[in-house]
Amino acid sequence: MTAAKQYTNTRVLINKSFEGATPNKSHFRTETVTIEAPELKENELFTQALSVSLDPFIRFDFSGDATESSVIGYVLSKVLDSKNPLYPVGSTIFSPTEWAQYSHISNPEHLADVNRYDEAIASSGLAPSLFNGILGVPAFTVWHSLKQVGDLKAGETIYISSAAGTLGQIAGQLAKRKGLRVIGSAGSQEKIDYLINELGFDAAFNYKTQDKKQALLTAAGPKGLDIYYDLVGDDTVDIALEVLNPNGRILSIGVLAMHQNAAPYAPKNTINILMKQLRYEGYLVFENYAHFPQFWEEMVPLVKSGEIKFKETVIEGGKVEALGEAYVNVLAGKYSGKVSVQLASL
């Protein structure tokens, strides 16, 4: 009987739970062990990490008694062994995976959230890192939510919170392409200038220094507001419920406030949903991955031509040991755009 191949595997574990808004380096630890290639069961995968996507929601891995458990994030990986016909050996996938050099993907929830990217990467001729952001799940979330829930109409006005973030930037540009007037909010003058001067937003305001309601009313002007694209999940929704035109829409897409340790927010003036006949709808991306081919067909040419602008930071030559510190720096706002750590090349 042939002995199983062995691998030296470094992975990141949660060292301790944290109090306050965000973890720091001391809340992570790494371990390096020798593992044998697992004997896979039906549908399971054994993978090597190529590029790790650093996303704010990872802080929820710390909830409850998570000490000594693995950190789980989205990882672009190469399939080394497979019992899943959808993802054969050699294919490149994007999925929830341990922060580790090598991973045995056996959790049914994680297996249900796998996307195959190798054909799209090869045909696009673009850097694989882009499939962590502008051509990956973040941009797909925006693209499909606007199509499925947004019901965008030329001439309408949309307001996007956290507009300078990865999703907000894309939402604004796609809405402009549909002929909408776009308003955004962000937390610094540098970000406001970027939204207006680089991305083509029609108006933007600083939610930290301006009265949000008055700023939104001024930016919306006499035509008012038709859509609120909510990426934050805070009390801004009360302002939107008050400001929205009759038959307006709220798209609940993100909960940035919860990532920053705020309690879930419950809107107070929901009577406006009835009186104005508003539509308030949430969107989760996980049930809609079948539409990725149409997304790539539309977005790859726009990214190639520069018609869709984006920022990304790729930490090249990274190591698993550096993931915790890099993630802390993401939460501190030390990088621009979507952040990935490259661990290996395709």
φ/ψ of 275, rounded to 5, equals -70, -30
Nearby residues of 220 by Cβ (< 8 Å), 6 or more positions away: 157, 159, 183, 243
Q: Compute the distance between CA of residue 28 and CA of residue 14 in angstroms, rounded to an integer.
A: 5
pLDDT attached to residue 214: 96
Two structure tokens written together for 67: 């000490």
94: three-class secondary structure by DSSP: strand
292: three-class secondary structure by DSSP: helix
pLDDT attached to residue 262: 59
Looking at residue 69, the DSSP 8-state letter turns out to be P
Let me know: does 81 contact 45? Beta carbons within 8 Å.
yes
pLDDT attached to residue 19: 65
pLDDT attached to residue 66: 59
57: three-class secondary structure by DSSP: helix
The one-digit pLDDT tens for each residue of the chain (346 residues) are: 566 799 999 999 988 776 665 777 888 899 999 999 999 999 999 999 999 999 877 765 555 565 678 888 999 999 999 999 999 999 999 999 999 999 999 999 899 889 999 999 999 999 999 999 999 989 999 999 999 999 999 999 999 998 988 899 999 999 999 999 999 999 899 999 999 999 999 999 999 999 999 999 999 999 999 999 999 888 899 999 999 999 999 999 986 645 555 567 778 999 999 999 999 999 988 889 999 999 999 999 999 999 999 988 999 888 999 999 998 888 777 887 889 999 998 7
pTM here is 0.88
pLDDT attached to residue 70: 86
pLDDT attached to residue 14: 86
Q: Compute the distance between CA of residue 142 and CA of residue 122 in angstroms, rounded to an integer.
A: 23
pLDDT attached to residue 142: 96
pLDDT attached to residue 279: 96
Instruction: Please report how the helices 292-305 and 137-145 are oriented relative to each other, as an axis angle in degrees rounded to 10.
Output: 110
pLDDT attached to residue 25: 80
Q: Compute the distance between CA of residue 226 and CA of residue 159 in angstroms, rounded to an integer.
A: 8
Residue with tokens 């035509």: 223
pLDDT attached to residue 18: 66
Q: Compute the distance between CA of residue 11 and CA of residue 264 in angstroms, rounded to an integer.
A: 32
Q: Compute the distance between CA of residue 280 and CA of residue 176 in angstroms, rounded to an integer.
A: 22
Give alpha helix (H) positions in 195-337: 212-220, 236-243, 256-259, 271-275, 292-305, 323-331
Size of the chain in residues: 346
Which is nearest to 285 in space by CA: 110, 113, 54?
A: 113
